[in-house]
Amino acid sequence: MSISPPEAPPYPTTPEDNHENDETSTSAYAEILSFQWCFGFNKDLPVLNLSINNTKKIFFVAAQIGVLYDFAYNRQQLLIGHRNNITCCCISNDKRWLCTADSGRDCTIIIWDTITGLPNQTYFDVINGTGAVAFSSDAKYLATLSQQAPQIMSIWDWTAESDKPICALELKSEYSNQHYVQFNPRQSTQLVSNSTTQVIFYEWSHENGLNYYDPELTERTFNTSREKLGYLTQSVFLLHPTRVITGTTTGKLVLWDCKTNGNIFEINKKQSNIVEQSDFTPQLTKITDNRELTRDTLKSSTSTRSGTLSSRKSSAKTNEQIDQDDEEKNYKQIRFNEPQQQTNIQNNEERSEFSYMNKRALKLCEPQRKPITVLVTTNDLVVTGDSDGVIRFFDQELKLRMWFEHFRIGPIESISFTYTTSDYSPPHITNPTHKHNETTLIQSPFFSYDFILSSSHAVIAHITHSGQQISIVKRDSSTAIYALDTHPFEHKVCFANASGRLQLWDYEQKMIITSAQHGHDNAITQLRYNHNANFIAVGYSNGQLTLCDALSLESILKAPFQYAKTAILFIEFSHTS
Average pLDDT over residues 38-58: 94
Beta strand 400-404 with 412-417 is unpaired
- Tell me which fold the domain 481-562 belongs to: Thrombin, subunit H (2.40.10)
What is the distance between the terminal CA atoms of the chain, rounded to a whole angstrom?
A: 36
Q: Which of 298, 455, 473, 321 is nearest to 391 (CA)?
A: 455
Mind listing the pLDDT tens digit for each residue in 411-462? 999 999 999 988 887 766 555 444 455 555 666 788 889 999 999 999 999 9
Largest pairwise CA distance in the chain: 95
pLDDT the model gives residue 25: 56
Residue 331, pLDDT > 50, answer no
Q: What are the Cα distances from residue 128, in Å, to 44, 124, 252?
A: 21, 12, 32
Answer yes or no: are the C-beta atoms of 49 and 418 closer than 8 Å: yes
Percentage of the residues of the chain whose pLDDT score is greater than 90: 59
Average pLDDT over residues 357-379: 93
Q: Which of 193, 49, 169 is nearest to 114 (CA)?
A: 49
The total number of residues written for the chain in this structure: 577
Q: What is the mean pLDDT of the chain?
A: 80
Residue 115, pLDDT > 90, answer yes
Q: How far is CA 128 from the centre of its chain?
A: 19
Beta-strand (E) ranges in 140-252?
A: 141-145, 152-157, 167-170, 180-184, 187-194, 199-205, 209-213, 232-237, 244-248
| C-beta atoms surrounding 295 within 10 Å | 14
Buried-state track 116-135, b at ≥16 Cβ within 10 A, e below 16? eeebebebeebbbbbbbbbb
pLDDT the model gives residue 280: 31
Q: How far is CA 464 from the centre of its chain?
A: 22
Enumerate the domain spans of the chain. Answer: 481-562
Q: What is the DSSP string of 263-319?
A: -HHHHHHHH-TT--GGGTGGGHHHHHHT-----SSSTT--EEPPP--SSGGGGGS-H
pLDDT the model gives residue 440: 58
At 199, the pLDDT band (50, 70, 90 cuts) reads very high
Give, for 253, the enclosing helix (H) or strand (E). Answer: strand 253-258
Beta-strand (E) ranges in 395-510?
A: 400-404, 412-417, 451-455, 459-464, 469-475, 481-486, 492-497, 501-506
Q: Which of 41, 43, 87 is nearest to 413 (CA)?
A: 43
Identity of the residue numbered 282? P
Residue 345, pLDDT > 80, answer no
Mind listing the pLDDT tens digit for each residue in 136-188? 999 999 999 999 989 999 999 999 988 999 999 999 999 999 999 999 999 99
Beta-bridge mates of residue 70: 57, 75
Residue 365, pLDDT > 70, answer yes
Mind listing the pLDDT tens digit for each residue in 474-489? 999 888 898 999 999 9
Q: What are the Cα distances from residue 161, in Å, to 120, 164, 571?
A: 11, 9, 56
Q: How far apart are CA 277 and CA 255, in angstroms?
A: 26
Residue 481 phi, psi (nearest 5) = -80, 120
Burial of residue 456 (number of CB atoms within 10 Å: 0-12, 13-18, 19+):
middle
